[in-house]
Amino acid sequence: DICYPKSSRRLYEQILEQGGILSTFPPGTEPIKRLFPERNRIVSGLADVILVVEARQKSGTFITVDMA
């Protein structure tokens, strides 16, 4: 129910209209940096493949890759 980043609002609305949103967090949970790895666990679990084109050495991207 809280879209992050705000620039993705249109995509968020389309997903709600055509399917749904999957989250381990209760409604109203703010997008806090320390919660992103748990969110990424869901993303990596649903993906068939994770392709990293470019990422900083300490990027959260590698947390997702490690979970895959």
Name the domain count of the chain.
1
Q: What is the mean pLDDT of each run of 10 residues along the chain (68 residues)?
A: 92 92 90 90 90 90 88
CB contact set of 22 (below 8 Å; sequence gap of 6+) = 42, 46
Model pTM? 0.66
Q: 32 lies in a domain?
A: yes
Show the domain range for 30. 6-67
* First vs last C-alpha separation in the chain: 26
Q: 57 lies in a domain?
A: yes
Q: 1 lies in a domain?
A: no
Q: 22 lies in a domain?
A: yes
Q: What pLDDT is stored for residue 11 in this prediction?
A: 94
